[in-house]
Structure 1
Amino acid sequence: MPQFQLQAFLQNQLTLIRYIIKWIAFVIPLGLLIGSANALFITALEEATLTRYKYPFLLFFLPLAGIFIAALYKYFGQASDKQHAEAGNNLIMDEIHKPGGGVPARMAPLVLVTTVITHLFGGSAGREGTAVQMGGSIAAAVHGLLPHFIRKHLTASDLRTLLIVGVAAGFGGVFGVPFAGAIFAIEVLAIGRLSYEAFFPALLASIASDWTVRAWGVHHTLYPQATAIVDDLSQHVELTNWLFLLKVLIAAACFGLVASLFATLTHTLSRTFSHFIKPTLLRPLIGGLIIIAFTFLLGTRDYLGLGTSSSSPDGISILSAFNSGGATPYSWLWKLLFTAITLSSGFKGGEVTPLFFIGACLGNTLAWLLGAPVEVFAALGLIGVFAGATNTPIACTIMGIELFGARYLPPLALTTITAYLFSGHASIYSSQRLHTPKHTTHIPSNTPIRDLPKHIKPKNKRKPKN
C-alpha cells in the first residue's frame, strides 16, 4: 500500500475512533437519564390506571382535567403546544429538519404530568408521544447545560443528532424495544429515507435507555405475555404457505386503510375543534363530555386509557385480542374514535399504544373472517396499523421480531410494507417529510405531510381562458 494511502487510511480510522468516543461520552449518560425518566413515567401511568380502576367516578372529572391541561399549556407551554394533536412530537421533528426555534426544557415535565392526568381521568391515549417528547426535550436541555468550551465544538448537525438520540431513547425505553427504537428515530423523520448518520448514537442511547428502565425494576409486562400466547400457537401453521400469505396480504391492506383513517380523522377533528371552538380551554371540556357520553352509550370502559389491560376480567384489551372471542367486530373502531376525540380535543399522550389496540382487535376480527390463526393476526395487526400510521415499516418489522420472535419474519415484513403502502401519504405526524413518494406524484421532495394538500392538484382541472 502506497504511503499516502496508508496515511489516509490511518487518518480515517483516527477520525472514526474520535467519532465513536465522542458519541459514547454523550449518549450513554443521556440514555441513562432518559431511561430514568421513562421508568418514572411508566410507573406513574400504572398508578394512574390502577387508581382510575379503583375510583370509577374519576371519569366524570375528565372535562375539568382537560381544562386544567389546556390552561397549563396555554400559560406555561409556549412553543410546546401548537394547538393540534401531538404538537410536541411535531415540534421536535421540525427542529430536527430545520433547527432554529429550539425545544423547550419545560416540555418534558409538562407532557409527563399532563399525560398522567389524561390517563387518570379516563382519556384514551398512549405513551409513545410523551416518551419521545421527554427524550427530545431532555436531549435539548442537556445540550444547553454543557459548558461553553464543549458546546462551541458541537455543530448544528450534532444538535440534530442529539434530538434524534432523544427520540430513540424515549421510544426504545418506553416499549422495551431498543433496536426498533433506534430504527424508528431515523426512519420516522422522512417517508422513504433513513438518516443513517445518526444510527450509531441512536442505537447506543436506545439500548442504554431500555437497560435503565429494567435496572429500575420497571418491566414491560404486557408484550411478553402476548409473545407467550403467540408462541403457544400450534406449530403446524406454515408461515410461508401461499394461501396463508394471501390472507396476510388482504389483512395488511385493511391495516393500512385503517391507519390512514385514524391519522386523517385525528387531524380533521383537530382542525374542526380549532375552527368551531375558539377558546382553547373549551376544546378538551367538550372532548371530555363526548368521551363520557360514548362510554355510557356503549356500557363499557374498555376503550379508556392505554388499553393494555381492562378493569373487568372479561373486558377487551390488547392482550385479550390474542384470544378467540377476545374482541368484538367493532372494538377497533370504538378505540379509534375514543383516541381521535381525546387527542384532537387537547388531551396529551401518544397514539402508538391505542394503535396497538386498534390493530390487535382488527386482526382478531379479520382472522375470524378469513379463517386464519387469531393469535398471529392479532400480532400482525398490532404491528401493521402502527406501521401504516407512522410510515415506518422497517422499524415496525424489527419491533415485531423483538416482541414476537424471528419465526414470524415473513408475515411481519409482508404486513408492514403492505400496510405502509395502503396507508397512502397519511401520517399521525404532520411534520413528517415526504422524501420518496409511495407512488408516482409531482409532489416536491422533503415536503411536510401537513403541506401535501397544497401540492395535490385536482385532476382534469381546466386552465382559465385568457
Structure 2
Amino acid sequence: MYRPQWPKIDFSVISHLFRWLLLAVPVALAAGSFVAFFLWSLDHVTLLRYRYSWLLFLLPLAGVAIYFLYKWAGKNAEAGNNLIMDEIHEPGGGVPLRMAPLVLITTLLTHVTGGSAGREGTAVQIGGSLAGLAGRWFKLNREDTRILLMMGMAAGFGAVFGTPLTGAVFALEVLFIGRMNYRALLPCLMASLLADITCSAWGITHTHYAITFRDTVQPVLRFLPFNWWLLLKVVMAGACFGLTSYFFAELSHAIKRYSNRKIAYKWLIPVVGGIIIIVLCFLLGSTDYLGLGVTGARPDSITIVSCFRAGGADTFSWYWKLLFTAITLGMGFKGGEVTPLFFMGAALGNTLAVFTHAPVDLMAGLGFIAVFAGATNTPLACTLMGVELFGGEYILYYAVACFTAYYFSGQSGIYLSQRLQSSKTGEPLAGGVKSLRDLRK
C-alpha cells in the first residue's frame, strides 16, 4: 500500500531567510528614511531654483564647493557607485559612512544651482554606505558583507523610484554583465521592499507615468498581445535607444578624461563645466534641460511627463539633455545618471513616434526604460521597471526594446566597475574577467 511521504522541512533555509530578514530591517529602515529626506529636500531645492532663476549663475561656485568638500572630507568616497561595486567584487577598505552625507549635500548643491543630474546615484550610495556601516557593526565576513552591500544598493534604488522588484534585480544584474548572484536575490528583495515601504510611510510619493495606448489590431498570441508591424518599429527604436546609451556613456567618460588632462587646476574643471551649462542655456533660450527634468518651471516646459504626449518634446530634446548631463557629471558635479537617462529615452521615443507613426506614449515609455537598460547593461531589471511603472500589458515590447538596446550599447556603460567575462555575443575575453575600466585601457 502506497503511503505518501510528507515533505521534510529544511530548517537551514528558514534560518537563512530569518537571518537575512533581521539584517535587512535596519538597513532598509535607515536607507528608506534617508532617501525620503533626500527626495523631500530635492523637491524643495528644485522649487527654489524655479523661483530664483539667478541661482543658475552660482553653478560654477557650487562646483568649486563640491570639489573641495570631496578633497577635504571625501577621500575614496568620490568614486561613488563604482566604489560600492568594487567593494562587492574585491573587498578592501570598505564603504565609508561619510559617503551618505557628502553625496546628499553635493547633489542638492548641484540641483539648486541648475546642474543636469539625477538622484539614483545618490540613493544607491546612501544605501551602500549605510549597509557598509551595518556590516562593520555586525562583524560580517567578506561574503556576507558583499550581500549586505548589494542589499543597500537595492534598498536605495527601490526607495528612490518606488520600484522594489526592479531595485532587487538591478542590484544583482548591474555588478556582472551576463551573470547574477542568486544567493542574494531574496535578501535584496526584502531590503528593497522594506525600504520602499519606509520611504512611502514618510509621505513621499513618486511621479506617475501612464501608457494609455490600446492596440486595436488583432493580437497574434492571445496570452501575449502584440502585432508584427508595431513590434518591428520597437526593434528599430530599441537599436536607436542602445546607440544613444552608448553615445552618452562614451561622451561622459571622454569629457571627464579630457577635462582632467587639459585643465591643470582641478577645482577649475567644475567652474568651466558650470560656465558651459550657463552659456548653453542662453544659446538655447531654455532652462528645460537643467535639473532632474521630471517637472518644469513653466506649464509648457519639456519634461519627462510631457514626453508622453504628442508635441511634448522637440526633435532634439533628447540630445540636449544628453549633452547637459554629460557635461554636468563629467566635469565634477554630483548626482545620478538614471533620471536624465529617463528623460533622454522618453524624448527620443517621442521623436521616433512622430517619424514612425507609432503610439507616442508607448514609444516614450519604451525609451524611458531602454536607454537606461543600455547605459547600465541591466535589460532584465529595466523590463521589470516597465511593468512596475506602466503596467504589464505590453511587457513583450518592454523586453524587446530593453534587450535590443542592451546589445546595441556595445561594450560600454556608465559604471566602469561592472565586470564581464565575455562579449554580449558570447565571445570570451582575452585574460578572463575584466571590468569596463580595464577594457577602456
TM over 0.5: yes
Displacement of 1:101: 1.8
**Residue 265 (structure 2) aligned to one of 276, 279, 283:** 279
1:351 aligns with 2:331: no
CA distance in 1, matches of 2:390, 2:60: 38
Asked if 2 retains the 8 angstrom alpha-carbon contact of 1:193 and 1:435, the reply is no
SS of the counterpart of 2:413?
coil
CA distance in 1, matches of 2:103, 2:433: 28
CA distance in 2, matches of 1:141, 1:76: 17
Moved more, 273-282 or 385-394: 273-282
Asked if 1 retains the 8 angstrom alpha-carbon contact of 2:66 and 2:106, the reply is yes
Instruction: Tell me the percent identity.
Output: 53
Match of 1:19 in 2: 16
Asked if 2 retains the 8 angstrom alpha-carbon contact of 1:190 and 1:446, the reply is no
Asked if 2 retains the 8 angstrom alpha-carbon contact of 1:172 and 1:207, the reply is yes
Match of 2:429 in 1: 442
Match of 2:86 in 1: 94
- Unaligned 5+ segments in structure 2 are 220-224
Displacement of 1:441: 4.9
Asked if 2 retains the 8 angstrom alpha-carbon contact of 1:302 and 1:317, the reply is yes
CA distance in 2, matches of 1:40, 1:322: 28
SS of the counterpart of 2:80?
helix
SS of the counterpart of 2:385?
helix
CA distance in 2, matches of 1:435, 1:211: 36
> Alignment RMSD, CA only?
1.3
Runs of 4+ in 1 over 6 A off after TM superposition: none
CA distance in 1, matches of 2:274, 2:201: 37
CA distance in 1, matches of 2:428, 2:29: 43
Structure 1 counterpart of 2:389, one-letter code: L
**Residue 190 (structure 1) aligned to one of 172, 176, 191:** 176
CA distance in 2, matches of 1:436, 1:127: 31
SS of the counterpart of 1:406?
coil
**Residue 208 (structure 1) aligned to one of 180, 194, 200:** 194
Asked if 1 retains the 8 angstrom alpha-carbon contact of 2:233 and 2:356, the reply is yes
CA distance in 2, matches of 1:444, 1:71: 39
Asked if 2 retains the 8 angstrom alpha-carbon contact of 1:193 and 1:436, the reply is no
SS of the counterpart of 1:367?
helix
Displacement of 1:156: 0.6
Asked if 1 retains the 8 angstrom alpha-carbon contact of 2:421 and 2:428, the reply is no
Structure 1 counterpart of 2:102, one-letter code: L
**Residue 205 (structure 2) aligned to one of 188, 210, 219:** 219
- When normalised by structure 1's length, the TM-score is 0.90
Displacement of 1:30: 1.2
CA distance in 2, matches of 1:234, 1:248: 15
Structure 2 counterpart of 1:131, one-letter code: A
Displacement of 1:364: 0.3
Displacement of 1:235: 4.4
Alignment of 1:27-426 (within 5 A): 27-81=24-78, 87-146=79-138, 151=139, 154-220=140-206, 222=207, 224=208, 226-227=209-210, 230-231=211-212, 233-236=213-216, 240-426=226-412
Displacement of 1:133: 0.5
Displacement of 1:216: 0.4
Equivalent residues, number? 429
SS of the counterpart of 2:332?
coil
CA distance in 1, matches of 2:48, 2:431: 49
Asked if 1 retains the 8 angstrom alpha-carbon contact of 2:421 and 2:429, the reply is no
CA distance in 1, matches of 2:436, 2:229: 36
Displacement of 1:14: 2.2
CA distance in 2, matches of 1:200, 1:427: 26
